[in-house]
Structure 1
């Protein structure tokens, strides 16, 4: 027997004893907009490890972070044609794809806290929203957190009247712009990474961001006041290509579902920690004054924004909205 054959013999014997272990694994390409060290990136890695465990190595998850494969405007199209198999798009991005019911999460002051959000996401309403993905060749599996939005400006924001006339950066979306107009502000839709330069040039007075985004974009160098307002919530959906998902054997789908369930618990814990870390980091600079808007003023702001909620109720789905409101109940911050 040649030396090469002797080297291959143990592998051949192993494959005869355990053929599934030698079969090619199903490859799941997981494209991420975020870096590996973010809550989503770390949760994706946890999912990769758990997927290997719960499918006995029959599914290999390959993670492509930081838009490595496809940029923000390309990734959903790539998912639909199965060039990648899994994404974590922002819920607002799904709404702008034409899935109008996902605008539910852009409605002002709908959720009082993370617990209320999770009761909706993990219940019948969250599952009903995922049904809308079917016509787009997608399957929704779970929801991941980002956090609540807050306002910043170069003047103190303690009362609803303080927003009048302010030019505030907002993500490009009519509903988000309507929220600001309801407060008397002037919305300036633009990409997040354009806000800092616009503030330096005097084109903006302020913005709305989650705490981790505010910190990552170094907004404390350009904004003297951060008003904790909790006026909107941002999150993501974990979605897969429908053809890929439907073609998987039941046991592999079950293993991936369990892996993703555990990764979701981990991601939400990381996101909550990231929001606390960002708040501490912003406060520690001493440059930006951080103050919560008083509860009574937040209630006034909620009432001022209520016409926006009513205006968009039909396009979002009034029956869905009413179910969500019942789940959330009357609890407020």
Structure 2
């Protein structure tokens, strides 16, 4: 191994000059490359930001967790109206059947802006805000038709304002169906609910509803329901007639109990930031189209509910209406559900009272 000391080495000045010039040239090349990179980034940024406002076509991604039901029908109606009114300037891309993730994942995508519109039952939105689930309170609305009419009117303004302050726009509310029970057992009194497990959507108010009646409200994902009902893991489920019929749950549960006749409502939520960035005329087309389809969406929900009930009865399902005495007992028990909700969600009180006053009128 050989060692040398720097002070013993003679360095030719021409070499130093050559090295300095080489370094200077390399530095100029790097600066030139950096300038080109910055220029490219600036051009691309201007291009994409500019296209958000002036592109020939705006893409709107709309999602829903279901398939072949009122929500997918509403998606189809909305797409048709928007694309027609915008004359091709907006392309609505539809993603039904949880194609963009679970309910929670789609809601997160909506908040982030990767999804621009989401059609979702309010009972699944407790993870975002429990206040939205006041719509699902038992015996709050007379039925789903009353609920959506009020929510789409001035009576729903406070709820819309609440959502806008959290970055979401409630473009419209659509009826899914009256909230009823499909059960494996008959109901003649409240005692019949004791020890029974009834699947509900995730809303805490629905869990508390079944608990107030003497049973247990069990949140459960849709793919598990048929087997769980068939094998007795659950004794019934709460939703609307269309849901029971289209997914054939009535084949393994023979009773429909027509309480609490509450509202299973779909809300069409949109990302506020995305909407605000649209040109004014396109923004109006998007929001107005969501409202414009309400009458047709309502009629479709009425027709499918009626037809679903007819076909289930024809197959042997027995429909049970509560006696006036039993219904009053169920309502009285449900009072605690309302009180608990308002205690846990004090911000919901002005929204609750506004809607309640509108119903009284």
TM-score range, shorter chain: 0.7 to 0.9
Deviation of residue 183 (structure 1)? Answer: 1.0
Q: What is the aligned counterpart of 2:202 among 161, 172, 179?
A: 172
**Distance in structure 2 (CA, Å) of the matches to 1:38 and 1:305:** 29
**Aligned 8 A contact 2:180 2:256 in 1:** yes
Q: What is the aligned counterpart of 1:215 among 230, 237, 245?
A: 245
Task: Give the TM-score, by structure 1 length.
Answer: 0.84
- Are 2:57 and 1:28 equivalent residues in the alignment? no
Q: Tell me the residue number matched to 1:301.
A: 330
- Whichever of the two has the greater Rg, that structure is 2
**Distance in structure 2 (CA, Å) of the matches to 1:81 and 1:178:** 31
Cα-to-partner distance string for 1:150-189 (whole Å, 9 max, x where unaligned) = 1233321133332223222223343222111111113333
Task: Give the TM-score, by structure 2 length.
Answer: 0.78
Unpaired runs of 5+ residues, structure 2, are 1-53
Deviation of residue 23 (structure 1)? Answer: 5.8
**Aligned 8 A contact 1:229 1:292 in 2:** yes
Q: Tell me the residue number matched to 1:48.
A: 79
Unpaired runs of 5+ residues, structure 1, are 1-21
Query: Cα RMSD (Å) of the superposition?
Result: 2.2
**Aligned 8 A contact 2:62 2:94 in 1:** yes
The runs of 4+ residues in structure 1 deviating greater than 6 Å are: none
**Distance in structure 2 (CA, Å) of the matches to 1:307 and 1:273:** 34
Deviation of residue 112 (structure 1)? Answer: 1.0
Cα-to-partner distance string for 1:69-90 (whole Å, 9 max, x where unaligned) = 3333311222222222111122
Deviation of residue 231 (structure 1)? Answer: 4.2
The structure showing larger relative contact order (alpha-carbon pairs under 8 Å, at least 6 residues apart) is: 1
**Aligned 8 A contact 2:124 2:201 in 1:** no
- Are 2:185 and 1:155 equivalent residues in the alignment? yes
**Distance in structure 2 (CA, Å) of the matches to 1:306 and 1:268:** 29
Q: Tell me the residue number matched to 1:88.
A: 119
Q: Tell me the residue number matched to 1:264.
A: 294
Residues matched between the structures, number: 306
Cα-to-partner distance string for 1:261-304 (whole Å, 9 max, x where unaligned) = 22222212111111111111111111x21222234422221111
**Distance in structure 2 (CA, Å) of the matches to 1:297 and 1:259:** 43
